[in-house]
Chain A
Amino acid sequence: MPDQTFLDSTELVINMGPQHPSTHGVLRVILKLDGEKVLGTECIIGYLHRGVEKIAENRTYAQFNPYVDRMDYVAAVSNGLGYCLAVEKILNVEAPPRAQAVRVILTELNRIASHLLWLGTHALDIGAITPVFYCLREREEALKIFEKYCGARLTTHAFRIGGLLYETYDGFEQDIKEFCDMFLPRVDEYEELLTTNRIWVGRLKDVGILSADECKEYGVTGPVLRAAGVKWDVRKAQPYSGYDKYEFDIPTRQNGDTYDRYVVRMQEMRQSVRIMRQAVAAMPEGPIMGKVGKVIKPPVGEAYVSIEAPKGELGYYVVSDGSTQPYRCRVRPPSFVNLQALDRMIRGGLVADVVAVIGTLDIVLGEVDR
């Protein structure tokens, strides 16, 4: 005679452990399920915690620069830009216009590379296996440009405090123009594969809805916020590094579901190409390094500078006590704050949607855990 408890349908607790192909890193999610419906989730992070903020207190400002790339390792150039801007703020110097233009070009290329990897892995999680090959092929072209410019593909260490170290190589502008020309038809190709595909739409529409008010409550920024309808981008609201010179749109959508976030990111890639084209056309001549001494010793003070990383608002709060080492360098990671909203987004959905929602938040555990 089967036991009564055997037939009871109680809450099932499943561990989506740190080793999982879809969690984009070492993320542990404990799911409470009722059949296939998700009743609640709990995220456990910290598996990739390396103590970057503590390291910052024991290195000089210039020595900490390479460590910063390793947080959001998918889009390393943005991290470097944020850190350099923060230190330049407390030093009260500004990078010269040519350095700013090259920084903008590399940062936008970096945004495209990050979104390509996001698209590839997100599609792979949903089940579409072809986009990942094409996205990585394009990302390869972008990484080749990074390699030619600064010597490394992933952990680029491209910028220095005060400007740039490397002058652009011969053929830089040509390469960027070729990349832009090659890339736009490829984006059309991805859209052809996915945007109207009924399986794609069926899996992504109305999944993981996060309305604009909820986004603001949870402090979620980046494409997630823009897909919910809030037209806000740090590049337009508080421009840095010469972004106010370029014309670009901020794509927004209304629903705030996973499909909208996909559309927003595709549009962002197109806008990035637009910015890159403008920056290359209008690149000024001049020095590439600002007035920064050999030893960086900012006056006592603190500053918070944030940039629009591909994942959201990436902020650096640097406190200086007058010495050559930062007294405190706090990194405000967009993925960490966005991941808090996972519980709200997935509640009431199905198990298969958990993977879609984790993918659509575009988290990188290196940034979440630092």
Chain B
Amino acid sequence: MADEQTPGGSPTPPPEGGKPTAPPAKPAAPAKPAAHAAPPKPPATMVSTPWDSELARELKQRFGDRIGELSTYLGQNFIVAKPEAAISVLEYLKLEADFDYLVDITAVDWPKRAERFDLVYIVYSFARNERVRVKTYIADGYQPETAVNVHLTANWLEREVFDMFGIEFAGHPNMTRILLPEEWQGHPLRKDYGILQQDQIWVQENLGIESGQ
């Protein structure tokens, strides 16, 4: 049959074929029962290449060892900065390098790492027509400095990161939840928050029902 059938789900009947209501294809990363498996391979990492350009050299010169690596993946450049230096990098990019538009602030949760969260800032320059990502790795409980003083867009974007991940930004004018109700407990986009999990107390108090399901 033609290549048209790309919906997920493996074509070979999986060992758990008898329970089709189970959530589909679990991630391949955790090893299957070790009895008949080879020794587990180390987890794959992103294959990025070093980014060498005038901007990269200026950044390296200016920030020295407060910047981890400057790499490129699939043509998209990113900078890994130390948590304390992230805002200075953003400021430098805005004032000296014309990256005046903050596109997005987001985070990724890697629970197995010591520095659990990947805080990502994406900035764009109208003049150069270039986009750069600034990433920092922060641990749970660390409070990064707010980017509101550099870019006004960061206001709601940081509130959303706080709401979904629990990362508080020091110095933010209004560090409250934005998408979820104020009294909600828990931060949904963390990996230890289940997909069907809810704040039962809030649901019962405010909606008057047992559960939202």
Contact = CB atoms under 8 A, between A and B. Distances in A.
A and B touch in the complex (CB under 8 A): yes
Interface of A: 45-46, 49, 51, 53-55, 57-63, 89-90, 92, 160-162, 165, 216-219, 230, 232, 237-238, 289, 291-297, 299-304, 306, 313, 315, 317, 319, 321-325, 327-328, 330, 332, 336-337, 339-340, 369-370
B153 A217 contact: yes
B45 A300 contact: yes
Interface in B1-46: 2-11, 23-25, 27-29, 43-46
A218 B153 contact: yes
25 contacts: A46-B181, A58-B195, A59-B8, A59-B24, A62-B8, A216-B100, A217-B151, A218-B153, A237-B129, A289-B2, A289-B4, A291-B3, A299-B47, A300-B47, A301-B73, A313-B103, A315-B104, A317-B106, A317-B120, A317-B122, A321-B44, A322-B43, A323-B29, A332-B106, A337-B153
A325 B26 CA distance: 8
B24 A160 contact: no
A57 B23 CA distance: 12
A17 to B, nearest CB: 15
A340 B73 contact: no
Nearest to B28: A323
B200 to A, nearest CB: 16
A168 B28 CA distance: 36
A325 B27 contact: yes
B73 A303 contact: yes
Contact of B73 (A293, A302, A306, A327): A302
Interface in B88-112: 100-104, 106, 108-109
Nearest to B180: A46
Interface residues of B, number: 56
Nearest to B197: A54
Nearest to A215: B101
Nearest to B10: A295
Contacts of B3: 162, 289, 291-292
B152 A218 contact: yes
Contact of B151 (A49, A90, A219): A219
Given A54-B189, A59-B8, A89 B106 contact: no
A28 to B, nearest CB: 12
Contacts of A322: 28-29, 43-44
B76 interface: yes
A58 B23 contact: yes
B59 interface: no
Contacts of A63: 7-8, 24
A219 B103 contact: yes
